[in-house]
Structure 1
Amino acid sequence: MKLTQLIAATLTTCVMLNCQAAETKVDAVAAIVNNSVVLETEVRDMVARVKKNAAKQGQTLPSDSALQVQALERLIMNSLQLQVAKRMGLQITDAQLDQTIENIAREQKVSVEQFRAQVVREEGSYELFRERLREEITTGEVLRANVQRRIYVSPQEIDTLTKMMEQQGASNEQYNIGHILLALPGQPSEEQIKDAESKATKVMELLRGGSDFKKIAIASSSAETALEGGDMGWMNINEMPTLFADQVRGKKKKDLIGPLRSGAGFHILTIFDIKGANVVEFEEISSRHVLIKPSIIVSEEKAKNMLAKFAVDFKAGKADFAKFAKENSEDPGSRLKGGELGWADPNVFVPEFRDTLKSLKKDQLSEPFRTEHGWHIVQLMDRRTVDATAEKKREQVTRMIYNRRFNEESSNFLREIRDEAFIEVLADK
């Protein structure tokens, strides 16, 4: 009798343990990326965010399986870029993250506390939002650092494009381009080329038949903008990759273009929208600043406090800006000038510096803020609107050529780090 009871008790315990195990799902690995992994929960979370954003915009989406494939690819690329950042020793500090959040809140015209409450309402966890933002900033810095050094814009290129734009009467029209890429491997076989071309032809047939471009992009594109529905954002025709610019010129809103063949694969484009006209005036600002770089000797807190104390003394009339800048600023270009930066287009500065300047009134001094260069304090001296001079046009042309190269080289860099990586996508169990 005792043996029968013992067996029954043992079976009951096993059943209970099995039930508990069934209820507790262990997080599984979706992909191995070099010495790192992408988890299934990360894929599910990204799919959920895409669905939520699509619902807000009224955007239809492809099947869950297609979304999961695109989300996994995005996470693989994020992992590769974060690994590059680690090898570079690139880290985004909490201070830099806080400054970015302050800038986002300022752009939305809310306080940091209000912005935090908004994030919690919409996303549930402010801490997870911070870490996603940290990753986004890090991957952006990886791209900038590795792509920037590949780009050189020669004076001859600037002269050629300037003359061409003058002859064509080119304007500052902006195009919002949609992009679908049917990708090819580095050294494709004839069969792989035919297969990709066939897929591109089928995609074109679907689009011509009225299918939603963004939905097809999310389902089919291999471009880094796939989860955004292929949306490349707004750009001047001279900022686009050369292959795209030649085809977009003269096209109208909603026109379909492609398939276009490149080394990356077959491209299909559409024009979501067109805006803008010739801009003959632009705003310049005059400002002065002090930069203090954190180091082993000067901590983040000490650098910030030095500038905060100076701000209090300056506003009270107890400190001289030029003297303080000459004695303390670590910006070699402006230190000997008492921190003066002269007249400049605010867009030449890094985003945090630019946005802080735009928020100031004439003669107003900012609070200390952080950029990738260190801690700053800046005073807006004046604003002015000027004609688009020949020099300004050359600056615009230089920026157009640079942006075009940056777009092209970014795609090349991402493709290279993926081709060189060990990636194993694990089948669903």
Structure 2
Amino acid sequence: MMRRNRFNQALVATILTGLALLPQLAFAQDGSKISADSKIRNIDGVAAVVNTGYVTRKEIDDRIVALQKQGGKLPDAAALRKTVLERLILEKIQLQNAEQEGVTVSNKELDQIIGDIAAKNKLTLAELKVKIATTGSTYDRYRQMLRDDVIISRYREREVEGKIKISDAEVDNFISDRNREVAGGGKSVRSTPAVKGEPEEIDVAQIFIPADANAGAGTQAEAKKKAELLLREARGDVDFLQLGAMAAKDNPKIKFQDLGYRTPDRLPQLFYEAIRNTGSGQVANAVVKSPAGYHVLKVLDRRALVAGAPEQQQAAPQESAITPQNIMVTQTLSRHILLRSRAGLTDQDAERRLAGYRDQVRAKTADFGDLAKKYSEDGSAANGGNLGWMGPGDLVPEFDQAMNRLQIDEVSNPVKTEFGWHLIQVLERRKAQLTLEKQRQFAREAIRERKFDQAYQDWLRELRDTATVKIINADDPAASPR
């Protein structure tokens, strides 16, 4: 049950929520009904020419309608139309470049992804098709939208994440920073604060929970709920970036990063307004909502701006000499009963069997360990399903997330992972020192997350700047009704 590689996690997390695309489909043009004549667009219907393709005003209209259906706060009509157009242009450019680079998704892969979406939402393929039909679109159109989404994800993985470089020196510095925080009693070492009215620099960290502007109201509400839960946890005695790392392991779409020391004018305005009166070591009072999603913010430090000082002030030599074994993590001792996925065992049968074992344990008519020895289908069965002490990232996200929600001695409901169906019981938890190897692994992941956002935005700007784009008429709605 070790972790999948990072990209596979991100792809699964993105695609398995594929039903969130359904609200869009109600407004998406039905690709199966486009006639040959309609492919030759009147120039008045084209909003922008993008290399050898185009974005139509109808596409902009449909995307705006989808956003309005979600009921969230939107900018004024002109700004919204401009934002939607830019997003569509970037999508077109990425798909065009991916095609030129040979990034594809086979029909077999797409069928497997759709099968996973149906299973995740406890639907048969036939039921999924019916649900798609209720949106006013078609199954063929749904397949095409998913195919585009996967292609863009794979292209981005190759072009952005695969090119992020992390030096050993960066890893060493990250570990030293975290150790100084531990040495300060779990709080960041404070710098000299600025006198009131004098210029200052603020070190802000964020945990970002994306909520795509095109996602449905349910997806938006779920993202907000997750952000508010993380905000409550961040107010406790926890390492903020470690909290972000654990959240990202549960859902790889979640990002966390230390923005580093910045003057107020170099912070996003939304961020600065939220932390204007927040002291060092404190989290913002509320979750911050942006067009991209929800942000949980913490002020790691505030310091006086020293003229001519380097962007990242150096720590005192005695601070950097702290041993790396100080970083602590929560480890969990758990056991499980596994029913492996196999021919002849349906999901419904596996859930029913495990629910029966769960009810026996809760009623104290059977011992969990005895049931594991008798029924579990993995190597831990001989030990009563005992998995040993596991830390953050040691288990696949679905298992890890379910396990972390349990209290001591509590038994979970059936949980599905790539290995099959599990029943989980937590036996004990403890604080343990993170080994040097684990620290370096954690540090690399945290630095990668920190670098990704900037690298991704730079990449998008480069794509946009090198593309041939001509805006024709994006201000007016499409001339003809749908």
Q: TM-score, normalised by structure 2?
A: 0.45
Higher-Rg member (1/2): 1
More helix by percentage: 1
